[in-house]
Structure 1
Amino acid sequence: MNVLKSLLDLFFPSQCFSCNKRIDKELVLCEKCADELSYIKENSCIFCNRETKEGLICEECKQEYPFDEVVSAYTFNLPLQRMIHHFKYNEFKRIGTFLGNSLADRISKYPFYSSIDYILPVPLHKTKKRFRGFNQSEIIARALSVKLNIPILKNVVKRKKFTQTQTKLKKHEREKNVANAFQVKKFGIIKNKSLLLVDDVLTTGSTMKSIALLLKENLAKHIYVCTLARA
């Protein structure tokens, strides 16, 4: 077994997912790139960066977004962008598990964590999931579920409309793009429950807002949001 491992390491060396430097197979980043990952600073609003004494969304932004709290682990800098690209488009699912574990550590610091009933990964449209082969939000949700000991609810929210990628759209275009894109299939199970929505990157929050409004309409009690990064 050690000989086989040595041969695999020789012919298929593991590389840093940011700079391609050779690293141990157990790692996803070299030491330099790992040090460059930037955590979101605590005690500031995730949307407007105002200082907050308690919570992660300031009172002004809570008027616009139907979330009780939002947690993002990292800023969307270059090393993280490269990692998430490899995760989503090159099927390196262990990156999602690695980052999901970091996000779980962050979530566990906040009091609301103990009240969460279910984790809900943001759904992909069936066409996109078939093309990609997996839903990246489900990989992250799985890591959170294991580490936080909270069950996952899949197939409760369905993405019924195929939407173009949000990457290059402005805020109002994003909101229009995801309008009426989702539906709740099993509304009874979420009634009076506290739910944690999971996605990879938070930009304007349009996708999460669309889903959260739908969940609130179906009598979910609290909606918390978490993402790997804040762009």
Structure 2
Amino acid sequence: MTPPIIVVTGMPFEAHIARGDGVVVVCAQNNTLASDLEAAMARNGARGLVSFGTAGGLRPGVTPGQWVIAQTVLDMPRQAHAYASCVGWADVLCRVMPDALRVDLAGVTAPVVTAEDKAALWRERGAAVADMESHIVARVAQAHGLPFVAARVVIDPAERSLPPAALAGLRSDGSTDILGVLRSLAANPLQLPALLRVGKDASRARQAMRHGREIVARELGAGFGAVSAGI
């Protein structure tokens, strides 16, 4: 039996969108992701890895709903060690999603919250977006000699800071904590307009993610385009 493509996400809604023929989905937070991914590979085998989901914008002008395909993943916890994604695989994905940006992606251990921190990361490292899973996917791929690609959708723009309630609403497993949001709003009601903008941006990103996943499945078949890329 041909080994599957393993698709890694950080949140349950991303995992739901990622599902499809020819893939095994691993949904985990970055503190357990490496071990969970290794376990999935031991059970199923793997012929390639995909980092899939949302990413925070770092480059000015990159808007929610924008697809990005990483050309390089910068492992920020390891002094920005750079991992090059599989060029042929990224080319195949960009061919069916011509509006996707080919950019450098920063892998981080925590959300980049403030507009100032986003600007600093863009200015110092040149990464257009950031997420918390891609650098771990890249590490594991390199350790096993596997191709990888990171396909992400921008969920928040570089120009805006995230309100505290947005972070209070995230449980450790990536699911939504409504009570956490309400407690944060009760403590600081003035953040409500910013939180509503976050919700609008997230809805736009989710819609773009579903649409892009449907395009990839329709145009490239099973396995996130791995067969078309010769993987």
TM-score (norm 1): 0.33
Q: Return the structure number with greater relative CO, CA threshold 8 A, min gap 6.
A: 2
TM-score (norm 2): 0.33
| Larger strand proportion of the pair | 2
Larger radius of gyration: 1
